[in-house]
Amino acid sequence: MAKIKRVRTKPCSRCNETNDVLYRVRIEEDGDWIFVCPTCLGKVKPDNPHYQYGGTWKSKKRH
């Protein structure tokens, strides 16, 4: 019996594409933390005074 590997992925809050790597960011003043893919990060980050970086999320955890 084959083991089913559960791949943990999250969808990007902006484009809803799942990605292996997402960035936890805040883009609104007092807004919620959201997860965005690298592509969307490049769109929301520039000229955003409320941009805050909260870490990188990866589906594959390194030990």
Q: Cβ neighbours of residue 25 under 8 Å, at least 6 residues apart? A: 33, 34, 35, 36, 41, 44, 45, 51, 52, 53, 54
| 37 belongs to the binding site for Zn ion (CB under 5 A) | yes
Cα–Cα distance, 53 to 17 (Å, whole number): 20
- Among 7-15, 23-31, 45-53, 54-62, which window interacts with Zn ion (CB under 5 A)? 7-15
Closest CB 19 distance from Zn ion, rounded Å: 7
| 44 belongs to the binding site for Zn ion (CB under 5 A) | no
| 12 belongs to the binding site for Zn ion (CB under 5 A) | yes
Among 8, 9, 15, 53, binds Zn ion (CB under 5 A): 15
